[in-house]
Structure 1
Amino acid sequence: MRTVPAQRTTLESGWSFRQADRVDDEWAPVARVPTIVHMDLLDNNKIPDPFIGTNELDVEWIGEKSWTYQTTFTVPKVPDGASAYLLFDGLDTFASVRLNNVSILKSDNMFLSHRVPITNVVYASGPNHLVIEFDSALLRGRELEKEHPEHRFIAHNGETGRLGVRKAQYHWGWDWGPVLMTAGPFRPVRLEVSFAYIDFARVDYELSDSLDGVRGTVLADVKGATDEVLLSLRYNGDEVYTQKATAAVNGATTLDFKLDNVKLWYPSGYGEQPLYDVIVSALKDGHTVDTWKTKTGFRRSELIQKKDAHGESFYFRVNGIDVFCGGSCWIPADNFLPRITPDKYRAWLELMIEGNQIMTRVWGGGIYEDDAFYDTCDELGILVWQDFMFACGSYPAWSDLRDSVREEAKQNIRRLRHHPSIVLWAGNNEDYQIQEEYKLDYDYENKDAESWLRGTFPARYYYEHLLPAIMKEEAPTVAYWPSSPFSGGKNTYDLAVGDVHQWNVWHGTQEKYQRFNQIGGRFNSEFGLASFPVLETVRGIVTQPQDLYPQSRVLDFHNKADGHERRIATYIAENFRIVPGLESWIYLTQLAHSEAVLYAYRGWRQQWANRDARHCGGALVWQLNDCWPASSWAIVDYHLRRKPAFYTIKRGLQPIVIGVQRDHHDWSVCHARPAKLSKYSVWIASGLLHERKVDVELRFVSIESGEDIKPPVHRSNVTVSANETTPILTGEINNVTEEPHILATRVLENGAVISRDVDWPQPFKYLSLVDRGVDVKVHDDHYEVSVKRPTKGIVFEEVDGVVLSDNCLDVVPGDPQTMKVKGRKVDYEVKFRYLGIEEN
C-alpha cells in the first residue's frame, strides 16, 4: 500500500470531567481541551470566580482533590506498516493515562510533552475510551518532602512542597498571585496515524564575518520508514534554497544550506525582523510521509563580558550592534493558562513595542511559554531572556528528579531553539540568593559536580553542570547564565559584575527610589515598586460598595506582597502629601511607581555611556503583567490597562531621550535640612546608529509663580553621538538664594520637540502645588494640555477602548503638550488628576 502523509487530529471536543473520589457524580461537560479544572468548574457554575473578592479562599479545596477527564474517539484505519500515537503536549501535573482500560502513560512533570504509541491498544472500529486522572500536586508535593528528609526544603513564596514538583511554581501562590492549584490537560491532546514522523529538526548556522552570508545545517531526526529527506528554505513565499539527502539509517539526517545576501534579524528599533520558513519533508518512494515547519531568523547574538573600569560588563551585541536592553520581566499572564490565547499573547507583547521595550525576561517560576509567545517575539523584534523553571528555593536533586529535569530541559530547548528572539537562557530565578541567605554549601572553586549533590545546595548541579551541558549539546550558540541574579561566584548583590535584582528599593534596605541610579549593577534584571491597578480594575475586584476604600480587606487580599501596607505607605509618606479617598490613594501609589521607574531608567540609560564604558547594559522592570487583578509591581494590570509607569518607561526608552537630574539629597537623613548647593547635569541618551544634530533647551521655572527665575540655557546644533550617552551641560543650584524651581529640558529637531524631562526638588510633600492652572482642550483625536504653573503627573483615567499615546505628564508653562487619542466616544467623559489637585 502506498504511504500517505501523517494524519493528526486534535482531540478538542467531547470531553467530560468529575472529581475523582466522587464516582457517583455525573460527568460534567468540558467546553474544550486544552483546559484546567477551575475553568471547567466555572463553566458548570460549580464555583465562584476566584479573581473576585475573596473567592480564592472558597476554591482552595480544588487543589487538594484529584480530578478525572475522559473522552472517546475513533481512529482512522491504520494501514499495514503505519502506527498510531497519542500526543500530549502538556499535562498538569501528576497524570495517569488509560486507553481502553490499559495504562499507557504516567507523567509527573508539567513541562514535558509525550508521544505514546497506541497501535496495539486502540480499537480499529468503535469508540476508544481515553481517561486521564490527575492527582493533587499540592498533596503529592507534601508527600515528596516527607519522603526525602535528607534534603532541607527552603522556599520563599508558596509551600516548600513545591520544590519537588515540576509544576509552575507560582500556582502555590507568590507575592503577586493567588494560591490556585490547577490540574488538567492544559495543552493540546492529539491523535496521530503515520508511517513515519519527524521527531525533531535542528537548524545550526554561522554568519560570515561580513554578516552578508550564512552557512548552516539542518539536522532532521526521522522515525519510521523513509528513504529521503527534503529541505526547503523560503522567504516571503519564494523558495531560496532546496536540498535533498538520503535518509540516515540510524540517527539524524544532515542537510547543508548556504544563502548569500541573507536578510538579518534585528531587535526592534535596530532593523527589520525578516523570518525564513524552514520546511523539512520526510519522503518514502517519492511521497511525503511527514513535514516539519518552522520560522527562524538569522542573527549573531553575543553576551559581552569584558573587564572595564567598572568591573566586568554585561550587555548584548546583535549583528555587531551593542543593544541597551530596556524592557520588562514576564510572568504567566493568567493563573488559568489555557485562557492565554495567541491573540492575548500578541496584545501583551504589542504593548511592549508600543512602550519602546525590546527585551523581556521569562521568569523561572512560571512556564516555558506557548509557541505563540516566542513566535510573536520573533515577529516584533523582542529579545527574550529565558529562565529555566526554578525560582526562589533550594531545590532537591534526587536521581529521578534529575532525570526529569534533564528531559524537560532537552525538550524545551529543542522546541524553542530556532527562535532568533531568544538570546540567553538562565538557570533559575534567585536560588543563589537562597543559598547565600541560608549559608548553604557553595565553594565556587570546587568544580566536582558530583560532590555538589552531597552538599546542602544540590541544585547547583542543575545550574552549573546539567543545564549548561544540555545547552552546549542542543543550542551551543545561545548564551547560558547560571542564574538571575549571578555574579560568577561573588555575592549576588555585587554591582560590578553579572546581573543584579535591585530590590533595595521596596525590599531590603528600602532605599529612596531617587537613588536608583547610584545602586544599579551591570545589568538590572529586576527592580520595581508596587502600586494599585487601574481604578476600573479595582472596581471589578470589589463586590460590595463598602469595600471600596484603600485599606479594605478585599483590596488587601488582592495584594500578596509581604508588608505591602507598610511599604506602600512608606514610599507615599516619604514623598507625597497623604490625601484621603480611594481614587487619590490609587493615584499616589501609581505616581510613586512612575517616579521610581523614572529614576531607574533615566539614570541607568545615562550609564550606557560608550562602547568602552557600558556601565549598565539593560534594565528589565519587575514586571510587565499580572496573572490576576491585583495590586503589584506590574506596569500594566491584568486587564491590559496601562498604569502611569508604563508611559514613563515608554518616554525613557525613546530612541533619543534627554535627561536632567540634580544630585540626590536625602532629606530624611538630613532631618529635612536642605542642601545649600545642588549640582545637576543634563545629557542625551541615544539608541540610534547614526549621529544627530539637535537643539537643547534648559529652563529654570518657579514652582510657585510659573515664571523663569533666570535666563534659560540654549545649545544649538548639538551633535548627539550614535548609540551612547552625550553629556550636554552641568551646573549648580543655590538653594539659599534661589526659590524652589524645576529644571525643564527639551530636545528639538527641526523645531519639533522629540524628548522632554523635568527635575523637581525632592520630596514633593514639601512643595505647595495649589492653583496649577491646568487647561485641557479635548478634540476627537487628541488632547491639548497647558498649565500656568509647573504641574506634576497629569494622569488621564484609563478607559477600555480608548488608547492614549502618552499619560502621566509633567507640563511646564509655555510648553503645552499634545496627546493622541484613539477610540474616544462622544459620550466619554474625560477625567484626569494631577499632584496637588486636592489643594485647589
Structure 2
Amino acid sequence: MGEWRDLHQDWVLNAVASGGTGGEPKIPAALASATVPASVPGCVHTDLLAAGLIPDPYLDRNEHELRWIGRTDWRYATTFDWQPGGTDRVDLVCDGLDTVARIELNGSPVATTQNMHRSYRFDVGQHLRPGANELVVTFTSAQAYAENLKDQLGDLPGPNSATPEPFNFIRKMACNFGWDWGPILVTAGIWKPIRLHSWQTARLAKVRPLVTVEGGVGKVRAVVEVDRADVNAPLTLTAEVAGVRGRVDVAPGETSATVALEVPDPRLWWPHGHGDQPLYDLDVALAAGDGTALDSWSHRIGFRHVRLDTTPDETGSAFTIVVNGVPIFARGANWIPDDCFPSRIGPERYRARLQQAKDAHIDLLRVWGGGIYEQEAFYDAANELGILVWQDFLFACAAYPEESPIAEEVEAEARENVARLMPHPSLVLWNGNNENIWGYFDWGWQARLDGRTWGKGYYLDVLARVVAETDPTRPYWPGSPYSGSFDIHPNADDHGCTHIWDAWNQKDYAVYRDYVPRFLAEFGWQGPPTWATLTRAVHDEPLASDSPGVLSHQKATDGNGKLARGLAPHFDEPTTVADWHWVTQLNQARALTYGIEHFRSHRGRCMGTVIWQLNDCWPVTSWAAVDGDARRKPLWYALRKVYDPRLVTVQPRDGGLDIIGINDGAEAWNAEVVVERRAFGGEVYAQWTAKLEVDPRDTTAVRIPADVATPVDAASEVLVVTAGDRRTTWYFAEDKDLAYPQPELDVEVVPNPSGTQVRVAARTFVRDLALFADRLDPAARVDDMLVTLLPGETHTFLIEGLTRQVTREEVAGAPVLRSAGDGQVPAAQAP
C-alpha cells in the first residue's frame, strides 16, 4: 500500500511584496521583515492573529485597517526530512491552495496554481533529496491577480457597491471580497491538507459510485480511474457493500474499470421526518496481479432515488424534489461559509450547525454559489442527520468570463467536485449559479456585455455536460432563479425556482402574499445578531443602531434604512438601542413566519421555501437565523415553529379567513379544531369547533364562520386557533395599532439539574414572550422563545450554560424578558 505523510509542521510565513495600488495601504513596517509561525491548514489572517501581529478583524472597524493583507504576496516555507523508500512515485498532494500559488521544492519550480476550489497532485520524486528538504509556497495577491485578469479580458458587470472587488475573475471564495453580509477579508494560504504520497505500480485516481434504486434493488456502479506508474502491470479491482462483493481485472495499459454491485432490498435513505438515514460502507480496493494490495478507497453511501419534477401543468411547470418516489416540500435555508477563514471550521462545528438546522425542522440546505464546495464533514453530517443538500456551482451575482484561463479552471473544478461529492446521499441537486441568469435579464447586463460571454455557456452546456457525464444519478438545474427556458423570465412565479427580494428591498413583507411560487429558493429579512454577539464585536460608546462599529457590521446597502422602513408598517419607532435591537429581531422573525405560513399553505403548487439564510460568517446584522457566534436569534425559534411538519395557520382566502392544516408527515393528521375570538383581557366573544383531517403530505382548508372571524374591536381582539397540540393566533391589526395590555407576569427562578428554570405566569395577554439568556451570561442559551400566553397560562423556560446563579430581579423585566408590547404606545393612549 502507498504511504501518506502530512506536511503540516514547522511552517513559517513572510510578507513578500505589496500588491497595493492606488491608495491601498502597504505592508506595516513591523511586518515587512517579520517571520511568523504558520499553521497548516490555515491562512495568513489566522496566522497573523495568532502571533498577535494584527487585531481581530471581526471586531469593531478592524476589517478596514487590514485590507493590506489581501493586497500582499505571502511566502510559506517549511523544511522536512525525507529518505528514499523504494517506491515508484512520490507525489506532492495539495488538497487546497488559496489561491494563486507558486510551489518550489529545494529551489526547483514544481507548479503554479490559480484555483482555490481544486486539489492538485505533482510528481516531485526528481526534486526530493535524502535528508533535509525545503518546500516553499508563494501566494500572489488574489486581488491583484483578479484585477490584472479583468484588465486583460475586459470588465464584466456584476460587482456592485456592496461587493466592489472583481471576484468573478478568479476561482476563489467570492464572499472573501465582501458581500452584503460579509467583510472584505481576502485570504491566502494552504487552507487544506498538504501531503506526500509515496506509491508504486498503480493507485486509485478517482472513484465515482453511481448509486441508484431500481425495483427494490440497490445498484452501485463503482466507476474507477487508475493512475499507473507501471503501464504493463495487470491489476485487480474489487468493491464491496452490504456483504455483496464484485471483482474485475484491469488489463495492462487500461486506466479505467467499473465494478457493478446489486444489493437486494436495501434500507432506503430519507430526509429526516420521512424515514431513517441508513448508511452503508462501500469499500474499493486495487491490487497487483499477484494480489499485493496497492490502494484502497472507502466511503459511506446511502440507497435512495432522487429526481427533479419539472412537469408542465395548468399553471406553468413544477419544481419539486422527489426522493424515493415521494414529492418533498423542502423546508430549507441557504448556507454560506460559516467563517471567513474556512480552515477554522472542523467536523464538530459543521455538525453543531447542521444540528441547529435539523432542530429547527430544516430538511434542506442550499450551499450558495458565492462560497465554497464544503468540506467532507459538512456532507457527512447532512447524511447522518437527514438533511438534503442543494449544491450550487460557484458562480454568484456577476457575469463570468468564458475565456482562458477561467474556462479551463471551471471545467476541471466542476469535474473534481462532482466526483468528490457524489458519494453523499444527502446531495440531491446540482445548480449552475446564483442569480446570474436573472442578472442577465434584469440588471442591465445585456447592453454592457454587447455580445461578450458572461457565463451562459457554463450554465447551459459545460456544467450540464459535466454532471451528465460524471454524476448522472442526480438532476442538474442551470440557475437560481430560473424558469427552465430563456423564453420565460427567469424569476417567473409559475415556473422553476424563484427569489423574492422586493419585499425586503423595496416594499414590506406583506407582499409575500402576492406570490405563489413553485419553489422559493431565496427570500429573507434582516435582524441584528444577539446582544452578546453584538457587544463582543462592537465596543462603541455610546452604542447605537447607527454608531460607527454597528454600521461597519451592517453591510447591506441602506441596510438600517430598510430595517426602519420594514418596521414602520408594524411597530412604533424604537427610541433606545435596546428597543431597536429587540423589535428588529422580532420583526425579522415575524416576516419569515408570515411568508412561510403563506407559502406552505399553498403546498402542492409551491413545493419549497429556502430562507436566506441559516448562518453567518462573522458578527453582523444580517438575514441569518444563527449569528456569527453560533447563537440562535429569535428567527431560529420562529423557524422551529413554522417549519414544524404539522402546522396550523390562519390565512385570508376569498374575503374570509381559512384555517389551513399542513401535514408534511407520512401519517394522517386528525384533530379537533377550536377557534375562539377573545378580548386581550381574556373574555371569549365567540367560539367554534370543527374537525381537521389532513392526509399525509397534504393540506386541508376549513372556513371560519364570519361571525367568529369578524371582530367588534379590531385593536383588542385575537383569534386563538387550537388544533390538538398545535396553536396559532390571528390579529386584526398591526402591533402598533393593537391595544396590548401592559404585561403582568409572575416570574419564578428555580435551579434545576439540567439548567435554570424560569416559570412565567401571565395575568394578562402576552404576545411573543422572549427570554434573552445571553443578557444574563454570554455562555447561556434558552430552550424556547416567542411564546404567546393567554391570561392564566404559564410557560417554563429552561436556561442552560449559565456560569453563575441569577435572581428573579435580573430576569423579570427588560432587557432579559421581552414581549411584543414592550415599548409600544397602547392604541387607546396614542396621540
TM over 0.5: yes
Pick from 540, 544, 547 the counterpart of residue 549 of structure 1.
Answer: 544
C-alpha distance in 1 between matches for 2:461 and 2:33: 49
How much does 1:805 deviate?
3.2
Question: For residues 275-674 of structure 1, what are the structure 2 equivalents within 5 Å?
Answer: 275-284=279-288, 285-441=290-446, 455-488=451-484, 489=486, 490-507=488-505, 509-510=506-507, 512-544=508-540, 546-608=541-603, 614-662=604-652
Q: Which residue of 2 aligns with 1:94?
A: 100
Question: For residues 83-122 of structure 1, what are the structure 2 equivalents within 5 Å?
Answer: 83-122=89-128
Q: Which residue of 1 aligns with 2:21?
A: none
How much does 1:374 deviate?
0.8
Q: Which residue of 1 aligns with 2:24?
A: none
Structure 1 residues 323, 816: CA separation in 2 closer, same or farther (over 3 Å shift)?
farther
Question: For residues 119-138 of structure 1, what are the structure 2 equivalents within 5 Å?
Answer: 119-123=125-129, 125-138=130-143
- Tell me the amino acid that sits aligned with residue 36 of structure 2: A
Structure 1 residues 36, 739: CA separation in 2 closer, same or farther (over 3 Å shift)?
closer
C-alpha distance in 2 between matches for 1:632 and 1:43: 27
Q: Which residue of 2 aligns with 1:805?
A: 783
C-alpha distance in 1 between matches for 2:660 and 2:336: 34
C-alpha distance in 1 between matches for 2:685 and 2:734: 20
Contact 1:441 1:457 in 2 (8 A): no
Contact 1:794 1:835 in 2 (8 A): yes
- Tell me the amino acid that sits aligned with residue 701 of structure 2: P
- Tell me the amino acid that sits aligned with residue 709 of structure 1: Y
Q: Which deviations, in whole Å up to 9, do the C-alpha atoms of 1:462-487 show, x marking residues without a partner?
A: 00011101111001121111111111
How much does 1:12 deviate?
1.3
Is 1:744 the counterpart of 2:729 in the alignment? no
Give the secondary-structure state (helix, strand or coil) at the position aligned to 1:346.
Answer: helix
Give the secondary-structure state (helix, strand or coil) at the position aligned to 1:420.
Answer: coil
Q: Which residue of 2 aligns with 1:33?
A: 40
C-alpha distance in 2 between matches for 1:578 and 1:165: 44
Contact 1:96 1:133 in 2 (8 A): yes
Contact 1:202 1:418 in 2 (8 A): yes
Q: Which residue of 2 aligns with 1:674?
A: none
Is 1:833 the counterpart of 2:818 in the alignment? yes
Contact 1:175 1:560 in 2 (8 A): yes
C-alpha distance in 2 between matches for 1:473 and 1:173: 34
C-alpha distance in 2 between matches for 1:559 and 1:453: 31
Contact 1:744 1:812 in 2 (8 A): no
How much does 1:76 deviate?
4.2
How much does 1:24 deviate?
7.6
C-alpha distance in 2 between matches for 1:419 and 1:127: 40
C-alpha distance in 2 between matches for 1:479 and 1:453: 30
- Segment of structure 1 superposing worse, 194-203 or 15-24: 15-24
Contact 2:83 2:131 in 1 (8 A): no
How much does 1:403 deviate?
0.8
How much does 1:523 deviate?
0.6
Contact 1:222 1:252 in 2 (8 A): yes
Q: Which residue of 2 aligns with 1:72?
A: 79
Give the secondary-structure state (helix, strand or coil) at the position aligned to 2:704.
Answer: strand
Contact 1:137 1:181 in 2 (8 A): yes
C-alpha distance in 2 between matches for 1:87 and 1:739: 68
Identity fraction in percent: 30
- Segment of structure 1 superposing worse, 617-626 or 815-824: 815-824
Structure 1 residues 818, 317: CA separation in 2 closer, same or farther (over 3 Å shift)?
farther
Give the secondary-structure state (helix, strand or coil) at the position aligned to 2:97.
Answer: coil
Q: Which deviations, in whole Å up to 9, do the C-alpha atoms of 1:118-168 show, x marking residues without a partner?
A: 111101x2111100000011111111111123x534323423522111111
Give the secondary-structure state (helix, strand or coil) at the position aligned to 2:670.
Answer: strand
How much does 1:348 deviate?
0.5
Gap runs ≥5 in structure 2: 18-26, 826-831
- Segment of structure 1 superposing worse, 523-532 or 796-805: 796-805
Gap runs ≥5 in structure 1: 443-451, 609-613, 665-677
C-alpha distance in 2 between matches for 1:807 and 1:737: 28
C-alpha distance in 1 between matches for 2:175 and 2:219: 42
C-alpha distance in 2 between matches for 1:51 and 1:739: 44
Structure 1 residues 50, 327: CA separation in 2 closer, same or farther (over 3 Å shift)?
same
How much does 1:204 deviate?
1.6
C-alpha distance in 2 between matches for 1:837 and 1:534: 18
Is 1:770 the counterpart of 2:747 in the alignment? no
C-alpha distance in 1 between matches for 2:618 and 2:566: 24
Give the secondary-structure state (helix, strand or coil) at the position aligned to 1:648.
Answer: helix
Q: Which deviations, in whole Å up to 9, do the C-alpha atoms of 1:443-498 show, x marking residues without a partner?
A: xxxxxxxxx99923431000001110111100112111111111122212310001
- Segment of structure 1 superposing worse, 359-368 or 395-404: 395-404
- Segment of structure 1 superposing worse, 367-376 or 200-209: 200-209
- Tell me the amino acid that sits aligned with residue 304 of structure 2: R
Question: For residues 147-162 of structure 1, what are the structure 2 equivalents within 5 Å?
Answer: 147-149=152-154, 152-156=156-160, 157-162=162-167
- Tell me the amino acid that sits aligned with residue 84 of structure 1: V
How much does 1:61 deviate?
0.7
* TM-score, structure 1 as length reference: 0.90
Contact 1:329 1:361 in 2 (8 A): yes
Is 1:686 the counterpart of 2:663 in the alignment? yes
Q: Which residue of 2 aligns with 1:445?
A: none
* TM-score, structure 2 as length reference: 0.91
Is 1:62 the counterpart of 2:69 in the alignment? yes
C-alpha distance in 1 between matches for 2:791 and 2:269: 44
C-alpha distance in 2 between matches for 1:588 and 1:459: 42
Is 1:208 the counterpart of 2:203 in the alignment? no
Q: Which residue of 2 aligns with 1:720?
A: 694
Contact 1:230 1:242 in 2 (8 A): no
- Tell me the amino acid that sits aligned with residue 517 of structure 2: G
Structure 1 residues 109, 737: CA separation in 2 closer, same or farther (over 3 Å shift)?
closer
C-alpha distance in 2 between matches for 1:454 and 1:106: 33
CA RMSD of superposed structures (Å): 2.2
How much does 1:43 deviate?
1.0
Give the secondary-structure state (helix, strand or coil) at the position aligned to 2:52.
Answer: coil
How much does 1:785 deviate?
3.8
Q: Which residue of 2 aligns with 1:223?
A: 227
Contact 1:534 1:637 in 2 (8 A): yes
Contact 2:721 2:728 in 1 (8 A): yes
C-alpha distance in 1 between matches for 2:195 and 2:714: 73
- Tell me the amino acid that sits aligned with residue 683 of structure 2: E
- Tell me the amino acid that sits aligned with residue 822 of structure 2: I
Contact 1:440 1:456 in 2 (8 A): no
- Segment of structure 1 superposing worse, 303-312 or 104-113: 303-312
Q: Which residue of 2 aligns with 1:730?
A: 704
- Segment of structure 1 superposing worse, 173-182 or 805-814: 805-814
Pick from 787, 791, 794 the counterpart of residue 766 of structure 2.
Answer: 791
Contact 1:534 1:798 in 2 (8 A): no
Aligned residues: 788
C-alpha distance in 2 between matches for 1:367 and 1:539: 29
C-alpha distance in 2 between matches for 1:234 and 1:33: 35
How much does 1:822 deviate?
4.2
Structure 1 residues 438, 652: CA separation in 2 closer, same or farther (over 3 Å shift)?
closer
- Tell me the amino acid that sits aligned with residue 617 of structure 1: M
Q: Which deviations, in whole Å up to 9, do the C-alpha atoms of 1:377-425 show, x marking residues without a partner?
A: 1111110111011110111111321111010100111110111111111
- Tell me the amino acid that sits aligned with residue 767 of structure 1: L
C-alpha distance in 1 between matches for 2:730 and 2:238: 58
Q: Which residue of 1 aligns with 2:22?
A: none
Give the secondary-structure state (helix, strand or coil) at the position aligned to 1:462.
Answer: helix
- Tell me the amino acid that sits aligned with residue 385 of structure 2: L
- Segment of structure 1 superposing worse, 189-198 or 351-360: 189-198
